[in-house]
């Protein structure tokens, strides 16, 4: 539901090195990850973050509004798959951290939005180890298991699965 401090530091390390200008986040929750990322982005960078739940979006807007990065983070409310269909251009970094049962549905639209040298980071890709248990038929485990299989089967993508917190898969185009 929310990245922790270790994952936040890892993302900051990655983003500091990558220096993306356009960032997309699926799953705002309280805004913690968006604020963590904004802290290390170049001054001309912009984050679009998508949250389904209006209550969480309002909490995030309060935290973001009180920060020095308020002009660089845009919170959009509604179903993320619908929101990303309305986006134009490409993104240099995308964080997928929501709606785990439907992770497979996000893969194609997010890869389409990914810039040539962009990185897609999918959180929770180990799902507390349950993705390795084929008998675990919970929607989240099945969705992430299918997502991981789809990513590794695609010849146009390369990825690495890291054991940071609950699993973080970094994906890029070949």
Overall number of domains in the chain? 1
pTM of the entire structure? 0.96
> Helices (DSSP H) in 41-138: which residue ranges?
54-65, 80-85, 103-113
Range of the domain at 145: 5-173
Q: What is the CATH number of the domain that holds 155?
A: 3.40.50.150
pLDDT in tens, the chain (174 residues): 688 899 999 999 999 999 999 999 999 999 999 999 999 999 999 999 999 999 999 999 999 999 999 999 999 999 999 999 999 999 999 999 999 999 999 999 999 999 999 999 999 999 888 888 888 888 889 999 999 999 999 999 999 999 988 999 999 999
């Amino acid at each position: 539901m929310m990245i922790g401090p270790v994952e936040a530091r890892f993302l900051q390390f990655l983003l500091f090195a990558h220096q993306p200008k356009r960032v997309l986040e699926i799953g705002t929750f309280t805004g913690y990850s968006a604020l963590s990322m904004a802290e290390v982005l170049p001054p001309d960078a912009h984050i679009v973050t998508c949250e389904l739940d209006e209550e969480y979006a309002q909490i995030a807007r309060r935290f973001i509004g009180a920060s020095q990065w308020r002009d660089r983070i845009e919170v959009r409310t509604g179903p993320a798959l619908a929101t990303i269909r309305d986006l134009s251009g490409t993104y240099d970094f995308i964080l997928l951290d929501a709606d785990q049962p439907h992770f497979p549905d996000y893969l194609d639209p997010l890869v389409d939005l990914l810039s040539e040298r962009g990185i897609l980071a999918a959180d929770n890709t180990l799902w507390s180890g349950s993705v390795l248990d084929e008998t675990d038929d919970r929607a989240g485990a099945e969705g992430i298991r299918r997502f991981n299989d789809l990513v590794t089967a695609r010849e146009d993508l390369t990825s690495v699965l890291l054991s940071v917190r609950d699993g973080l898969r970094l994906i890029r185009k070949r």
